A and B are shown apart, each in its own frame.
Chain A
Amino acid sequence: MIRMRVKRNLGDALFDWGNVILMLFICFITLYPIWYVLINSFNDGVDAMRGGIYWLPRVFSLESYEAVFKNKGLMTSMGVTVAKTLIGTVVHVLFTAMVAYGISRKDLIGRNLYMLIGTITMFFGGGLIPTYLLMRDLHLLDNFMVYIIPAMFSFFDLIIFTTFFRDIPEGMEEAAKIDGANDLKIFFRIVLPVSMPVLATIAMFHGVFQWNDYFTAVIYTNNAALQPIQTFLYRIVALSGSNQIASVVPGNVVRTVTSQSVKLATMVITTVPIVMVYPFLQKYFVKGFMIGSMKG
């Protein structure tokens, strides 16, 4: 906010400097733990056990990363994560947007009933066990589709979509109708292309959810080949201190890596994609958050 001031007095200047220092301190506190993980993951594992690496790696080494990339199980997990994030996000965005488009049309017969059915789902849920039993009955246990189908729709996201769709000028749809397009065609050819900002926002939220989700796999799968990287990491983190981590490190590697350094390297590899797309998405989520907060 730009404020005009006739004169800045000493108190003002002190306040500003104090404020800047406070903010720099908050930035440091936020970034340092992430930096610490990064430099330690690039340090020789055995050497890192002595501790004391605070600013830069002491004995630079890429062997922890090599160990991770050579580990077949870990790479499978990475593949599962990439697949569930890409497929899950596309399916979620298209399906939720499609339902939202139908509901956003004011002349839709039964619109109020559909909205009621949806609103109730936002306040009441079945809880862990009834949901688990449903997944079992639908044969979604130990099935890749458990990442996609139960997450393909969200009524909260639908509300954000409808808010946006309502602002699309009706003339565009009318013109298409005169040219003989049906509602499905209008949705795919006209509504989706003009809705990129909101599609990107929801895709971002859901993509981050899919990428970070570890719990779905914890409850619904026992199959190691279906385990996403976050679940893999969860098992390492939750078991840290016990011997089971050692099994992550392949036996034939010269022991310059430790379970700890492999854990750190895995954490970095898991975080890098999020940090890379983050600057591109920031402009969207601030906007998206505001649309969401006004309705929510």
Chain B
Amino acid sequence: MKKFTRKLISQRYLQMMVLLGVAWMIVFNYIPLYGIIIAFKDFNIIKSISEAPWVGLKHFKAFLTDENLLYVLKNTLGMSFFKLIIGFPLPILFALFLNELRNVRFKRFVQTISYLPHFLSWVILGGILTTWLADVGIINNILMALHWIDEPISYLAEPSYFWGIVVTSDIWKELGWSAIIYLAAISSVSPELYEAATIDGAGRFQQMFRVTLPMIKGTVSILFILAVSGILNSNFDQVFILRNQLNETASNVIDTYVYQTGITQGRYSYSTAVGLFKSIIAFILLLCANFVTKKLNDTSLF
């Protein structure tokens, strides 16, 4: 005991440094966790959390019978689904082709340019998109000049275009950035494998898909688990900036719905219940995706 005390005293500065961080986490991470209980209460902004009366699952029932539930869920899952089936493989393909470039300087040049959009905010990208898709914007100008359309289309006012815009702009922004991690994995593939493949007569496409791709399978699996578990996160910033009252039916997702009911309408308990519902499903999805990839090829997050 004496030894313990002496050790504790000797590392008093270290303990102080760490405990400041722990205190921060308790305030900013753990107190909001406690705040979740308002999902089971009728919380009123004037009273404190502990004073509010318990109401059980009332708000969850309200959400599950909400007429908005159907399209909010449909939009959340729909956008994520298309991002997953189109946006997930493209960076892998990009990394594979990039890896085949022979000129190292040109390769670095392409990489530098492809990362750039990642550093622009979604606000900037929203500005670019509203400019491009405006009635007098470049897209309408080109399509009209080609006589494909007779009058300008208001893309952002038309729900049927919203998913396409969101998926395409997301790929534009993140293609290069998402490829970094695959390039890192590829760089550790032994060159001897390619030599052997060449001697066996493998062409360049065969080398890409028979050598490189199988070698980075582990990385692909891990990122796939993360992508699936994030399927309920339909990139809040992007949707939040591009949505408006006219495209509402195609643009409202769980996260924007939480914002709308909570911050805009002040239905705190209801909004928290919706958020909690989302977190639980997301956690279950993470466990499922982890289980499936573990069975398939022995890679897993935990």
- Please give the residue numbers on chain A whose beta carbons come within 8 Å of chain B beta carbons, in ascending order: 1-5, 11-12, 15-16, 19-20, 22-23, 26-27, 29-31, 33-34, 36-37, 40, 49, 51-52, 54, 95-96, 98-99, 101-103, 105, 107-110, 114, 117-118, 120-121, 123-134, 138, 150, 152-153, 155, 158, 182-184, 187, 208, 211-215, 219, 230, 233-234, 236-238, 240, 260, 263-264, 267, 270-271, 274-275, 278-279, 282, 286, 289-290, 293
Contacts of A282 in B (CB 8 A): 112, 115
B279 x A27 contact (CB < 8 A): no
Select A234's contact among B13, B32, B102, B123, beta carbons within 8 Å: B123
Query: A266 CA to B188 CA in the complex, in Å?
Result: 43
The B12-35 residues at the A interface (CB cut-off 8 A) are: 13-15, 17-18, 20-22, 24-35
B109 to chain A, nearest CB (A): 8
The B252-302 residues at the A interface (CB cut-off 8 A) are: 258-259, 262-263, 268, 271-272, 275-276, 279, 283
Select A263's contact among B14, B110, B127, B175, beta carbons within 8 Å: B127
Query: A126 CA to B28 CA in the complex, in Å?
Result: 9
B4 at interface by CB-CB < 8 Å:
yes
With known contacts A126-B33, A263-B127, A267-B128, A278–B8 Cβ distance under 8 A: no
Query: What residue in chain B is nearest A40 (Cβ atoms)?
Result: B131
Beyond contacts A95-B21, A130-B35, A289-B184: 12 other A-B pairs, Cβ-Cβ < 8 A, are: A2-B104, A29-B172, A33-B128, A99-B20, A128-B271, A130-B36, A131-B32, A131-B35, A237-B130, A240-B130, A263-B127, A263-B131
B136 x A49 contact (CB < 8 A): yes
Query: A233 CA to B17 CA in the complex, in Å?
Result: 39
Query: What residue in chain B is nearest A185 (Cβ atoms)?
Result: B13
With known contacts A127-B272, A128-B258, A134-B32, A26–B114 Cβ distance under 8 A: yes
With known contacts A26-B94, A131-B32, A132-B262, A278–B272 Cβ distance under 8 A: no
Query: A123 CA to B123 CA in the complex, in Å?
Result: 27
With known contacts A3-B191, A108-B18, A12–B204 Cβ distance under 8 A: yes
Query: A121 CA to B26 CA in the complex, in Å?
Result: 9
The B103-145 residues at the A interface (CB cut-off 8 A) are: 104, 106, 109-110, 112-117, 119-124, 126-128, 130-132, 134, 136-138, 141
Query: A3 CA to B240 CA in the complex, in Å?
Result: 47
Please report whether the interface of chain B is mostly helix, strand, loop or mixed according to DSSP: helix
Contacts of B13 in A (CB 8 A): 182-184
Query: What residue in chain A is nearest B186 (Cβ atoms)?
Result: A1
Residue interface mask B216-240, A partner, CB < 8 A = 1:
0000000000000000000001001
Query: A2 CA to B262 CA in the complex, in Å?
Result: 56
Select A30's contact among B98, B176, B203, B276, beta carbons within 8 Å: B176
Query: A109 CA to B97 CA in the complex, in Å?
Result: 50
Total A-B pairs in contact (CB under 8 Å)? 254
B99 at interface by CB-CB < 8 Å:
yes
Which 8 residue pairs across A and B have the least CB separation, nearest first? A126-B32, A130-B35, A99-B21, A212-B121, A102-B18, A127-B275, A183-B13, A130-B32
Contacts of A153 in B (CB 8 A): 21, 24-25, 28
B4 to chain A, nearest CB (A): 7
The number of chain B residues with a CB under 8 A from chain A is 90
A240 to chain B, nearest CB (A): 5
A289 x B180 contact (CB < 8 A): yes
Query: A150 CA to B136 CA in the complex, in Å?
Result: 42
B20 x A130 contact (CB < 8 A): no
The B156-201 residues at the A interface (CB cut-off 8 A) are: 172, 175-176, 180-181, 184, 187, 191, 194-195, 198
B281 to chain A, nearest CB (A): 13
B55 at interface by CB-CB < 8 Å:
no
Query: What residue in chain A is nearest B276 (Cβ atoms)?
Result: A127
With known contacts A51-B136, A134-B35, A153-B28, A127–B279 Cβ distance under 8 A: yes
Contacts of B102 in A (CB 8 A): 16
Contacts of B31 in A (CB 8 A): 126, 130, 134
Contacts of A138 in B (CB 8 A): 27
A260 x B17 contact (CB < 8 A): no
B265 to chain A, nearest CB (A): 11
B279 x A125 contact (CB < 8 A): yes
B57 at interface by CB-CB < 8 Å:
no
Query: A232 CA to B18 CA in the complex, in Å?
Result: 37
Query: What residue in chain B is nearest A240 (Cβ atoms)?
Result: B130
B7 at interface by CB-CB < 8 Å:
yes
Contacts of A274 in B (CB 8 A): 119-120
A125 x B114 contact (CB < 8 A): no
B86 to chain A, nearest CB (A): 15
Contacts of A110 in B (CB 8 A): 15, 18
| 17 residue pairs bridging A and B, Cβ less than 8 Å apart | A2-B104, A3-B194, A3-B198, A23-B97, A27-B114, A99-B21, A107-B11, A108-B15, A114-B21, A124-B33, A125-B33, A132-B262, A134-B28, A211-B121, A212-B119, A240-B134, A263-B131
A15 x B263 contact (CB < 8 A): no
B113 x A1 contact (CB < 8 A): no
Select A3's contact among B36, B121, B195, beta carbons within 8 Å: B195
A201 to chain B, nearest CB (A): 13
Query: A35 CA to B8 CA in the complex, in Å?
Result: 59
Query: A82 CA to B244 CA in the complex, in Å?
Result: 30
